[in-house]
Structure 1
Amino acid sequence: MEDLLIISNYYPPEKGAAANRIEQLALKLQQHHYNVSVVCPLANYPKGEVFPAYKGKFLVHENLDGVKVSRLWILPSVSKNLIVRLLSVFSFAGVLFFYLLFKKTPKKIIVQSPPLLLSFLSVFVLSFKNKKIILNVSDLWPMAALELNALKRGSFSHKVSLFFERFIYKNATLVLGQSNEIIQHVQEIIPGKRCFLYRNFPDHQIDQLTIVQDGNPKIKMFYAGLLGVAQGVLEVCQRMDLAGHNIEFHIFGDGAEKAAIETYIQNHPEKNIVFHGMLDRSELLQRLASFDVALVPLKTRIFGSVPSKIFEYGALGIPSLYFGGGEGETIVAENNLGWIAKVGDFESLNLVLGEISNTQKSKIQAMRKDVFERAQTHFNLDRQIQKLIAEGVF
């Protein structure tokens, strides 16, 4: 078995799409006879606190489902104070730098980007050690930071980030991009760079669709995931109009907007919004069997971004109301995965909500079967990995 290392800022037991997709990549490569190991920080996401099992430790080695995981020390934080956040980023970055510099590592290494600083330091060290660097790009930074107004164009931070970005694209052996837009962007910066499309398909190992009838006549729509600025779930709660509609909106997750969302729901019971908090992945998947529609929002159209939730819910046979723009719209439309509302346009969102409300629940459940069958055919992680292996990516 060939050894292969994955460097990631997230890994279970942390929750969220980033940790889930890295775990699925690790497990799937392991199934295809790679000896996979992972280097990541001590588990701390999304609360910004080291999980109790890892507190007081500098380095933890563990085996999770056959994957060897090495967790390095971090000073975690979700503080809005820029200096505190930078200290947190640099704490793990510094430890990772010396770990990669002095630790014996496999010939083939997958580096997750973003975070941009971590991928830069990883590529910097590994390029000197003559490793095969497979750069897995899930979002385009600093471009996404500009679109989210988290970075000022032309600032010192922006210029440094552009240098980091160009460096990692140039020095990676090859690039995996989660969207065609990412591949287009990388090849504009480094013409001729070997790039491969790698969608964040799930691997639920579900062969049959399960629909749970709970007797609720209302159409149950949900959002599950990070409650952060990029998703804009608080604004969705504030501006969506469910008055007179046959729809309930349920929220599962945690993040920076959690407290504000809970307060808003308590103050507006008439809006038919229910908050459930963060659930374990297995429990969440069981609960979603009784839901009808998934809301997949982004606050603004982010070039290169394709939310993995599109594929996740497709594999569960749940149609999506996609409210994020970009390449995701094309995927939803071409695969008949649900409805599309124009990103950032709440008038468009409310018109679509009205359309969904007027759809019979039985019709939506029939639609679930079509979505499930479509996903089984087109969003197959195993076939995608086999194809990439055949092409010499890993």
Structure 2
Amino acid sequence: MNAKEIKQLFPILNQEVNGHPLVYLDSAATSQKPVQVIEALDRYYREYNSNVHRGVHTLGTHATDGYEGAREKVRSFINASSTAEIIFTRGTTTAINTVASSYGRSQLTEGDEIVITPMEHHSNIIPWQQVAKATGATLKYVKLHPDGTIDLDDLEEVLSTNTKIVSVMHVSNVLGVVNPVKEIAKMAHQKGAIMIVDGAQSAPHFKVDVQDLDCDFFAFSAHKMCGPTGIGVLYGKKELLEKMEPIEFGGEMIDFVGLQDSTWKELPWKFEGGTPIIAGAIGLGAAIDFLEEIGLDEIARHDHDLAQYAAERLTDIEGMAIYGPKQRTGLVTFNIDDVHPHDVATVLDTEGIAVRAGHHCAQPLMKWLDVTATARASFYLYNTKEDIDALVAGLVKAKEYFGDVF
């Protein structure tokens, strides 16, 4: 199935915006949803909407089977060793915050070190800032090469016996860099530290094997991989999750409740307090089925080819600055001389082309790039080279328009 055929499975993409066929190039922010996922959500609400784990009636059993079946699909999707290691969360942000609040605050003390990079999304910076403030630990940053890739020699120098946590994004949402997280995990473990991977931009685009990566935690979101918003996954090694305390308390996550004390359910449920995101999990399961039917290797090849094609086409535009290494995946981030990226995005929108403009929740990286904002075109399995051609034509028009204005 080629990209044009795949696109037909996404109802939202078959429309016009501002009198032009929609060209959606903002999948790094959120992907669109195929009819299979929409129908799975519809079936749940129409046919077996019920709470899980609590009732013995038919609808409750059906809902529980759907919810826990989705957990098994996630386990297989990232090759975790057990469903006990798969925690459903609200998304990548909640997953990282869970590790920071539960593991970080309980395990770190003054003098300990947390190591991250300047390219991280805010959701992989701010939680560690707060942990450092609360525990007295030190937050340290690894240098980047001029093309935005991680300087592994500097990482070797930054890591020490005081390093307790290393947290790195798998793929940059700005630069398209694929970070060598398997190698970084090995380096972290040699110092006795744990390794956390922000997989928000990797899990949708290529096959992830958490056992092969040997990361201790891995976080990702459904809405960036054709699934619903409001649900994500925290994978954690069982031995680490077992010694962590929950950060939300109430129904679902308890074993016994007394007047003065309570005990928790076993993994994974002790981290899923309250009524869980049932429809979201079922939708995520449907999204995994869809992606695996297409094939993650094929998606990875397609995303890489589009990113390379886009970078080549944009390079031909005079006054264009493109950020990141030559080898990238899934996106191209750029600026046009003397034109604010918000203005670029506005002109493109009049042509029916959706891109993202701003700091992309990566203000430290913007500072490192010495810019206040950038424009970003990000691609997925439903995009084509014709979409890139439309982007280039729109950028030429924007450049001409603002050249006439000024």
Structure with higher Rg: it is: 2
TM-score computed with the length of structure 2 as normaliser: 0.27
1 or 2 for the larger relative contact order (CA 8 Å, sep ≥6)? 2
TM-score computed with the length of structure 1 as normaliser: 0.28
